[in-house]
């Protein structure tokens, strides 16, 4: 264990990962053999008829028939009926090992009974949202503070997107500066100013349809790990109103899909101090998953602001929040501080007792049961098994993990070069290969996050890990270039 109480047993060698990724990107794209793919598609036709019918009907009322960005839509999305511990069950009764885990927050496994029972008690007593102060708002803020002491004050919001939006607004209010620097490829929700260079560094406004250009005029990007580049941006901004904040996902963009060096965050902290910019840690995925102290505890870094998401309601609805020092957070005090500059935020359903109680009890259990560490051990076992399979079939795929966040790159879609004139064609090609790979895994009983990431939980065990590795084994046998 690299650091006591944390899920990451050893920091992955990012240079080695980048080297392997270069080799993967230089190779032809691997795909599932057509004859095997036919069999996997046959699974969907014969075993998932209920999902197919439901999605067909949903298409009449919902754009594309599905609401979730993280759903696999190929050959069609599956309709889920039940979630329990490490498993999901679709409407046709098929069982899947679940590594999406609601996008990460269900570290205890899905529908963890002791939390569910408390939530039901709270709803019965005071309704999901009476609209005024409830003790669980306080309990949630306190338990976050107890584990992450740099979060002196905490403001509940409704989503990670809102929390990121709020963090940059607070940073601008506090510093009086405008520029925000993010890391290319990172996701900080879908607000107007942060839909900028998503997934692939350098893609800038690629996905900013419907967002006026001037809205992202103060959003800039640095390359992952490029500390010199960050210094240059900060220096440039000094002559142009200054930098309000640098915002990072502390493991690297997309939960570490492009991993950062072990000392990256400390160097960013130093530069922020030198240039008077705030450091924002987006811990939507890492808070409590990396360990009770979050990534900031693991790296021993004090961010000025911390962004939280789904974990602060343990995977129940309405989950987000932002926290930081008393001084910085005073910019966002509700209904007080007349005359002082205030970052305006709100949300009728924010801080509702149901979500706050769910978050409070989930975090309490996660800490008491050492869930992050257990999930991290499951991630280690899974990653080791994946590497064995990659070696067994001599495939160029790349697998690594930081505790319970396991990455496995089969097509490297997020490693494409934004400057490549053929990028759109290549994205299409790699996305399709990835969709087929994801469908093949699903047909073998395993659901991942977008075919390249796994979030393990405390509910995984040797049996689920074996089921998973057997599924990967069957699919890897059927890959060709
Ligand atoms: C790092 C990060 N920030 C922000 C968000 C946005 O959170 P939400 O989906 O709650 O808006 C996500 C979502 O997964 C995320 O991974």
Dihedral angle over CA of 166, 299, 176, 240, nearest 10: -120
CATH number at residue 402: 3.90.1150.10
On whether both 412 and 317 belong to a single domain, the answer is no
Q: Indicate the number of domains in the chain.
A: 2
On whether both 97 and 156 belong to a single domain, the answer is no
For residue 129, is it within any domain? Answer: no
On whether both 422 and 291 belong to a single domain, the answer is no
Residue 152 CA, ligand 1 centroid: distance in Å: 22
For residue 182, is it within any domain? Answer: yes
Residue 26 CA, ligand 1 centroid: distance in Å: 31
Residue 309 CA, ligand 1 centroid: distance in Å: 6
Nearest ligand 1 atom to alpha carbon 186: 1
How far, in whole angstroms, is CA 314 from its chain's centroid? 14
Residue count (the chain): 481
On whether both 395 and 302 belong to a single domain, the answer is no
pLDDT at 2: 64
For residue 6, is it within any domain? Answer: no
For residue 126, is it within any domain? Answer: no
Query: Which of residues 351, 383, 402 is at a domain's end?
Result: 351
For residue 438, is it within any domain? Answer: yes
Residue 161 CA, ligand 1 centroid: distance in Å: 6
Nearest ligand 1 atom to alpha carbon 104: 14
Q: Angle between the 371-392 and 462-476 helix axes, to the nearest 10 degrees?
A: 30
pLDDT at 337: 58
Query: Which of residues 296, 319, 351 is at a domain's end?
Result: 351
DSSP letters for 174-209: HH---EEEEETB----S-TTT-SSBSSTT-TTTT-T
On whether both 294 and 412 belong to a single domain, the answer is no
On whether both 162 and 251 belong to a single domain, the answer is yes
CATH number at residue 199: 3.40.640.10
On whether both 338 and 472 belong to a single domain, the answer is no
Residue 42 CA, ligand 1 centroid: distance in Å: 34
Distances (CA, A) of 231 to 226, 256, 299: 9, 22, 21
For residue 424, is it within any domain? Answer: yes
Q: Whose CA is nearest to atom 4 of ligand 1?
A: 188
* Residue ranges lining ligand 1, Cβ < 6 Å: 103, 159-161, 164, 187-189, 249, 282, 284-285, 309-310, 320
Nearest ligand 1 atom to alpha carbon 283: 1
Residue 188 CA, ligand 1 centroid: distance in Å: 6
On whether both 99 and 218 belong to a single domain, the answer is no
Pocket test for ligand 1, best of 100, 160, 307 (most atoms within 8 A of CB): 160
Q: Residues of the chain whose pLDDT is less than 50?
A: 1
Question: CB under 8 Å to 136, separation ≥6 — which residues?
Answer: 122, 353, 356, 357, 360
Give the β-pairing of 398-402 and 405-409.
antiparallel
Nearest ligand 1 atom to alpha carbon 310: 10
pLDDT at 336: 57
Residue 308 CA, ligand 1 centroid: distance in Å: 8
Domain that holds residue 94: 14-110+370-480
On whether both 215 and 171 belong to a single domain, the answer is yes
| Residue 198 near residue 305 (C-beta atoms within 8 A) | no
pLDDT at 179: 98
Distances (CA, A) of 127 to 62, 349, 352, 353: 29, 12, 9, 8
For residue 434, is it within any domain? Answer: yes
On whether both 217 and 268 belong to a single domain, the answer is yes
pLDDT at 385: 98
pLDDT at 334: 64
Q: What is the CA radius of gyration of the chain?
A: 22
On whether both 346 and 208 belong to a single domain, the answer is yes
Nearest ligand 1 atom to alpha carbon 249: 1
For residue 82, is it within any domain? Answer: yes
Query: Which of residues 351, 384, 407 is at a domain's end?
Result: 351
| Residue 179 near residue 220 (C-beta atoms within 8 A) | yes
């Amino acid at each position: 264990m690299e650091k006591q109480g944390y899920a990451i047993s050893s920091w992955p060698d990012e240079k080695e990962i980048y080297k392997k990724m270069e080799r993967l990107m230089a190779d032809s794209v691997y795909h599932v053999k057509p004859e095997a793919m036919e069999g996997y598609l046959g699974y969907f036709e014969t075993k998932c008829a209920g999902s197919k019918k439901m999605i067909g009907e949903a298409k009449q009322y919902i754009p594309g028939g599905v609401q979730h960005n993280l759903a696999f839509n190929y050959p069609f999305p599956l309709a889920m009926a039940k979630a329990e511990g490490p498993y999901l069950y679709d409407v046709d009764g098929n069982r899947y090992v679940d590594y999406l885990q609601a996008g990460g927050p269900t570290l205890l496994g899905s529908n963890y009974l002791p939390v569910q029972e408390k939530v039901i008690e709270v709803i019965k007593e005071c309704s999901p949202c009476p609209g005024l102060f409830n003790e669980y708002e306080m309990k949630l803020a306190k338990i976050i503070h107890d584990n992450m002491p740099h979060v002196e004050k905490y403001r509940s919001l409704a989503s990670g997107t809102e929390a990121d939006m709020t963090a940059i607004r607070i940073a601008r209010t506090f510093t009086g500066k405008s520029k925000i620097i993010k890391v290319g490829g990172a996701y900080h929700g879908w607000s107007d100013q942060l839909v900028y260079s998503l997934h692939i560094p350098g893609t800038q406004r690629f996905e900013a349809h419907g967002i006026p250009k001037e809205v992202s005029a103060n959003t800039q990007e640095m390359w992952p790990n490029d500390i010199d580049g960050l210094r240059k941006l900060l220096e440039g901004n000094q002559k142009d109103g200054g930098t309000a904040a640098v915002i990072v996902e502390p493991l690297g963009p997309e939960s570490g899909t492009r991993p950062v060096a072990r000392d990256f965050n400390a160097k960013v902290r130093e530069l922020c101090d030198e240039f008077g910019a705030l450091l924002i840690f987006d811990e939507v995925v890492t808070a409590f998953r990396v360990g009770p102290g979050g990534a900031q505890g693991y790296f021993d870094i004090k961010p000025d602001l911390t962004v939280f998401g789904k974990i602060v309601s343990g995977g129940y609805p309405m989950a987000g929040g932002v926290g930081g020092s008393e001084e910085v957070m005073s910019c966002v005090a509700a209904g007080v501080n007349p005359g002082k500059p205030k970052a305006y935020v709100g949300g009728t359903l924010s801080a509702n007792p149901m979500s706050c109680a769910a978050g409070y009890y989930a975090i309490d259990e996660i800490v008491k049961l050492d869930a992050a560490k257990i999930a991290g051990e499951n991630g280690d076992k899974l990653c080791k098994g994946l590497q064995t399979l990659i070696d067994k079939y001599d495939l160029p795929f790349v697998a690594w993990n930081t505790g319970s966040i396991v990455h496995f790159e089969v097509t490297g879609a997020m490693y494409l070069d934004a400057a490549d004139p053929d990028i759109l064609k290549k994205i299409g090609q790699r996305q399709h290969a990835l969709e087929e790979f994801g469908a093949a895994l699903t047909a073998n009983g395993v659901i991942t996050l977008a075919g390249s990431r796994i979030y393990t939980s405390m509910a995984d065990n040797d049996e689920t890990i074996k089921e998973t590795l057997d599924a990967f084994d069957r699919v890897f046998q059927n890959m060709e270039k």
